[in-house]
Structure 1
């Protein structure tokens, strides 16, 4: 009786295909076929991409539902606005007087400055956003350009640099002029008035901040849509 019980038990313990042995020695498990591994991999990929697409669709829907961007404004005062869809900057242009042409290249928000505001428990820190403007002024058929590099804060324009350059290209090592803050105060004031006469003023700064807030949202939604379309491709 004992022998009859031991034989089947020994076969079970020694069999390489027994569940007990397979748990102890996983490397002896039969390999999955190439087709099975490919199928499992495709299923995992499909599930991952499906979840990613769901998240993108939800985010796009949320943005469009709760705070949809408005149509970009094509003009401001005497400036024509070139929206530059899909890019990180816009261009403004206008004529001034009989022989001046003004072009302004404007970045999206590219910096910030911390500020402290009073609150009920003391002060709290916020940030004010910064936009860079490059103002080019051309006169007649000449080859020279007077260029201002400015910062646009939410309600003001700040001149950072002024220099002359060639219409065609920059020189190898151009003299960039003195630091603006190092100029005589009266000269600084006159240069601000020079720009203000051409529409580069605090009102333009306020307009650009609102415009770029809208562009930032528009480009974000466009970016998500582009990513979604790419992932959906087979």
Structure 2
């Protein structure tokens, strides 16, 4: 969720409470004075399906859609951070509209790397306001000069396969604040198990040793694994790109969702 939308929702929620109180008082006053009369909503609602609330819902969806599109009208179709990432030519982005998962792929020597993350992990509202509050405090007291990273904790899964062996590595990580924090590294003798989503593969994975908790490994071994991943592009620049792209995609998917829901309600 974008910071603008989160702030707008907070403001709307406060305004809505005040409007409801005002409306309730007005309704009670009209009821007492005998000015209220029953209204039939079914006539106008029939063109929007069978519900009496269809028209109001459609209008509200249109209002939200209009607001979102107007807020994006001056923005480039492909933001600068995404252009720069593509210009590096290191990773290929597999981004399917109306899907919440994004996959980055690349080759490294005889290896195939596949990193997957989901925009579902975005926790926009709380992180946005926490970071804004922290920035304001830093500006006021001047005690901290470090920039507050506006990033979201996003879980990522990396699979590494080789053309010369049937095995594979699967690395479960958390991407946050410009770095990857490894949870565990699993080795699969049958390489397809690292990415196969079938019920049979899921059943096989349940009986496989998933590897130790990464932070329990010898420090030296942890450092060598970190170097292994950084050499393959699992580095700070990628850790900063993922949350930024996730927020960019979430905004686009939200607009598609509004369009789809409105189209369905109006049909």
Question: Structure 1 length as normaliser, TM-score?
Answer: 0.72
Whole-angstrom distance in 1 between the partners of 2:61 and 2:206:
47
* 1:181-200 → structure 2 map (5 Å cutoff): 181-200=215-234
1:89 pairs with 2:101? yes
Which residue matches 1:104? 115
The answer to whether the 8 Å contact 2:122/2:152 transfers is yes
| Aligned CA-pair RMSD | 3.0
> Residue by residue, what CA displacement relative to the aligned partner does 1:93-119 show, whole Å, maximum 9, x if unpaired?
11101x111111111151667788382
Whole-angstrom distance in 1 between the partners of 2:186 and 2:101:
22
The structure with higher relative contact order (CA 8 Å, sep 6+) is 2
SS of the residue corresponding to residue 175 of structure 1 reads coil
SS of the residue corresponding to residue 165 of structure 2 reads coil
Which residue matches 2:212? 178
Shift of 1:179: 0.7
Flag the structure with larger Rg. Answer: 1
Whole-angstrom distance in 1 between the partners of 2:157 and 2:150:
23
Whole-angstrom distance in 1 between the partners of 2:72 and 2:153:
22
Which residue matches 1:19? none
The answer to whether the 8 Å contact 1:154/1:209 transfers is no
Which residue matches 1:168? 192
Aligned equivalent of 2:54, options 49, 53, 65: 49
SS of the residue corresponding to residue 212 of structure 2 reads coil
SS of the residue corresponding to residue 262 of structure 2 reads helix
Shift of 1:199: 0.4
Whole-angstrom distance in 2 between the partners of 1:48 and 1:189:
59
* 1:58-97 → structure 2 map (5 Å cutoff): 58-67=63-72, 70-71=77-78, 73=82, 75=86, 77-97=89-109
The answer to whether the 8 Å contact 2:184/2:213 transfers is yes
The answer to whether the 8 Å contact 1:157/1:205 transfers is yes
* 1:151-166 → structure 2 map (5 Å cutoff): 151-165=174-188, 166=190
Higher helix share: 2
Whole-angstrom distance in 1 between the partners of 2:55 and 2:93:
39
Question: Structure 2 length as normaliser, TM-score?
Answer: 0.63
How many pairs align?
192
